[in-house]
Structure 1
Amino acid sequence: MSPRSLILDTLARLLYPMMLLAAVVILLRGHNEPGGGFIGGMVAVSATALLAVARGTDGALRALPLPPLPLAAGGVLLGLLSGVPALLLGHGYMTHLWATLPLGFTEFAVSTVLLFDIGVFFAVWGALGGLCAEAIGLDEEAGA
């Protein structure tokens, strides 16, 4: 294993959670505004790539909530399932539905669009985050 930079490792430890928080903000903002699942997922992928550079492939993959393939497949499945509620109500598949959740001090808009965007987020993060981490790891193997 090649030596790692202490500064890069420390910086990655600080930036990783902030980048994931930014990814979630972009994800949640995007279901009513431009942005959403894809660009939020790409921010999460960049956080994973940062960890892969700082800590290696294994360190980056351990930081994912699930291994890359189940994360991506679960995202695709969630995206596909987001169209089912409309079918159950007699509408066409992928006709999206909206509702509001009263939180006492405010209301939160929820929709099947948000479920779809969350699915896209996890599909992108799992597929491209895993690919990125493995591609960065190819350099580790070549240098070993």
Structure 2
Amino acid sequence: MKSVILNTVSKTLLPLLILFSVFVLLRGHYLPGGGFIGGLIAAVAFILHAFANGLTETRKLLRIHPGFLIPVGLLLAVISALAPILVTGEPLMTGLWHDKDIAILGKIGSALFFDTGVYLVVIGVCLTIIFTISESV
């Protein structure tokens, strides 16, 4: 699609949508939100960029194949789910929290790492599906 307006808007919205998706991810272990919704917002940002600028430009922007994010996210989610069993002997997916607050993030715990894994998986799956469909058309 060759639209000056869409091209300009997509380049402006991409960083804002990515920032908003990270915000939704980080607030997700305290309030509604989290990895799934944050991942969808980030995927929509890249899909909008692909519609406006073409798939090759978006692939250059990503630098890695989105399918690589899927196993990385799954590994992070599984490790964070198993950490309570391995570290403290607690049941699966019990929340582990760091004692001290960290600026901007607040308390860091296993829920944040699980949400981050989900975030990466959702981005990887959505972009892989959309890019595969776009390549075949």
Q: Does 1:94 align with 2:93?
A: yes
Question: TM-score normalized by structure 1?
Answer: 0.83
Q: Is the 8 A contact 1:29 1:35 kept in 2?
A: yes
How far the C-alpha of 1:107 sits from its partner, in A, is 7.6
Q: Is the 8 A contact 1:48 1:60 kept in 2?
A: yes
1:98-109 equivalences in 2 (<5 Å): 98-103=97-102, 108-109=106-107
Gaps of 5+ in 1: 140-144
How far the C-alpha of 1:98 sits from its partner, in A, is 1.6
Partner of 1:16: 14
Higher strand share goes to which structure?
1
Give the counterpart of 1:111 among 82, 90, 109. 109
Q: CA RMSD in A?
A: 2.0
1:65-144 equivalences in 2 (<5 Å): 66-87=64-85, 88-103=87-102, 108-139=106-137
How far the C-alpha of 1:83 sits from its partner, in A, is 1.9
Partner of 1:49: 47
The aligned length equals 136
In the aligned structure 1, how far is the partner of 2:62 from the partner of 2:95? 29
Aligned partner of 1:94: which letter? M
Q: Does 1:36 align with 2:34?
A: yes
Q: Summarize the Cα distance change of 1:65–1:42 in structure 2 as closer, same or farther, 3 Å threshold.
A: farther
Gaps of 5+ in 2: none
